[in-house]
Amino acid sequence: MTTAIDKLATEGFGKSNLPYASISAGSMNKLVVRLGDHAIDLGKLLADEDLGEAEKKAVAAENLDELLKLGRKSWSAVRQAIITALEAEGSAEFAESISTDVSSAEYAMPFSPADYVDYYASENHATNIGKMFRPDEAALKPNWKHLPVGYHGRSGTIIVSGTEIVRPSGLRPGEGGIPSFGPSQRLDIEAEMGFVCGGAPAGTHVSVAEADEYIFGAFLFNDWSARDIQAFEYVPLGPNLGKSFASSVGAWVVPFEALKDARVEPPEREFEVADYLKDDESTGGPWGLDILMEVDLNGEVVSRPPYATMYWTAPQMLAHMTVNGGSLRPGDMYGSGTVSGPERDQRGSFIELSWGGKEPLKLKDGSDMVFLQDGQTVTLRATAPGADGETINFGDCVGTIVAADS
């Protein structure tokens, strides 16, 4: 007799990972957990495990929404129950019988987004964009190293990986300051990590030390950007239509608890941060994450952004998001902002990879790449170190560009 862990685990999708997704199951969806190439029906897997009624109801739901409401104690109990079930002697046959192959599954949003904040936490990315958008000013504004800069985004157009991306239209810069309306000609990606929260009542301020009690999990996130629309609209209030048309969430949500072995020190801070943002040993230590991302264009890896270079960490972003009394609800999520390293082949957007179009990216077939063309497919991937020498794989976050609506 064989355990499911022993038989089904693969590199990146073993015991130390066990991410969640929602897949189509006839007329409704179901919550699944991934082991190897198997998407296992979570409700059936845990039907006989020692869990409370609220937890059993949550794991038998269509997505993560019910589980997000329950909080860290329940999240940990469910994760331990999954491990117990998959490590039981003879569990392999049962797990296989209630599984769907991940390559044939049809994915739904893993959770229902509530509010959404997008940050700007990479110093390399912020510096590059500052140089291109404001060449006559300092690349970083004076506030950047004192707080995680972000803006409140649109949750209604957050979509699951695999959904086509319709080229957006809007007002674009024109000669003499007169804009023209039409499809974006500078369509771009933003390779990010996303984080989804739960378990908190409205009005709760979450400290850095408490953040891992409220961050449920992490996922790949592509915050597609129309750079020409963005450039015309963003002064003085920031992004709107240039960002709000589509943001892709990876189908698999990795439990934040699974990332403890990926913790690293963030870059050295230039200024002492405010007390509510301190992440020293007194607040549980820093939560930089050693996540290595990939940006794949039509089958060619064009960039490998290192998340470990991010100046601001996920707990700091959450602490900032709630310090003013802003509410936190199950399903609230936030993006890290584009992840870019110091090298050209570590930049997480095409505007950086081509330096605004002035230095086109040379592809393997000899063609030049600046901004996205209709028919092109972008795939984000990421891995991180897991427990016992294992690897955490975040799966893929995929989007294909289709022509603007006529």
Query: Which DSSP helix (H) or strand (E) runs through 320?
Result: helix 314-322
Question: Which token pair is 27?
Answer: 């007329």
Question: Residues 372, 188: contact at Cβ < 8 Å?
Answer: yes
Q: Between the CA of residue 25 and those of 16, 29, 32, 159, 303, what are the distances in Å?
A: 26, 5, 11, 19, 36
**Distance, CA of 304 to CA of 348 (rounded, Å):** 8
Choose the catalytic residue: 38, 125, 152, 320: 125
The helix/strand/coil state of 17 is coil
Alpha helices by DSSP H, listed for 172-269, are 227-233, 241-244
How many CA atoms lie less than 13 Å away from 231 in the CB half-sphere? 21
How many CA atoms lie less than 13 Å away from 70 in the CB half-sphere? 20
Question: Residues 246, 221: contact at Cβ < 8 Å?
Answer: no
Asked if 125 is an active-site residue, the reply is: yes
**Distance, CA of 406 to CA of 384 (rounded, Å):** 42
Question: Residues 311, 122: contact at Cβ < 8 Å?
Answer: yes
The helix/strand/coil state of 62 is coil
**Distance, CA of 59 to CA of 289 (rounded, Å):** 28
The catalytic site residues sit at: 125
